[in-house]
């Protein structure tokens, strides 16, 4: 997550805001990692220059800042997915290594049954887990 935010030159204030939003499931290692990356990046004094060919589309920034929780959470899920996909590309995993990594992440994913069928904070889905496990379709960049 942190590397993706850095490559896209995301405003630290946006990352800090995302870290404070109630879009996480407590005690979920995927949510904890996502939130920690936003918190750490949000402490930068200024945004880095986006890497060549990178950058966060303005449409995504608007959705990530949305007061509509459903819009914001869908955008956050897609942002997480974007950075997970980039991480896989950077790592250049062999097929079996990628499958093992995906299985490990899926094993950490928050399980709805753990809360007797409901998520906290009005979540209809977990943006961090769904993004990491690439459960939903991405926004068009």
Q: To 5 degrees, how large is the angle CA 121–CA 124–CA 130?
A: 105
pLDDT of residue 67: 93
| Of residues 43, 40, 55, the one with CA closest to residue 8 | 55
Domain ranges of the chain: 2-112+122-132
Please tell me the distance from the alpha carbon of residue 114 to that of residue 112, in angstroms, as a whole number.
5
The per-residue pLDDT for range 90-130, each reduced to its tens digit, is: 889 888 998 888 888 777 766 654 555 567 777 888 898 88
Q: Which pLDDT tens digit goes with each residue over 54-103?
A: 999 999 999 999 999 999 999 999 999 999 999 888 889 888 998 888 88
5 has a pLDDT exceeding 90: yes
> Which residue in this structure is represented by tokens 């995906």?
102
Instruction: Give, as one character, the DSSP assignment of residue 106.
Output: H
Q: Check residue 118 and give its pLDDT.
A: 67
Q: How far is Cα 59 from Cα 79, in angstroms, rounded to an integer?
A: 12
H-run or E-run covering 61: helix 58-64
């Amino acid at each position: 997550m942190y590397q993706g935010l850095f490559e896209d030159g995301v405003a630290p204030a946006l990352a800090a805001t995302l870290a404070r939003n109630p879009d996480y499931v407590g005690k979920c290692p995927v949510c904890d990692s996502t939130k920690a990356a936003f918190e750490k990046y949000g402490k930068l004094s200024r945004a880095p220059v986006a890497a060549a060919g990178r950058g966060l589309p303005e449409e995504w920034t608007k959705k990530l800042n949305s007061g509509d929780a459903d819009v914001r959470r869908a955008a956050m899920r897609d942002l997480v997915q974007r950075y997970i996909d980039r991480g896989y590309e950077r790592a250049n995993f062999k097929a079996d290594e990628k499958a093992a990594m995906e299985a490990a992440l899926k094993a950490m994913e928050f399980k709805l049954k753990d809360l007797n069928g409901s998520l906290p904070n009005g979540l209809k889905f977990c943006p961090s887990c769904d993004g990491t496990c690439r459960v939903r379709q991405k926004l068009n960049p």
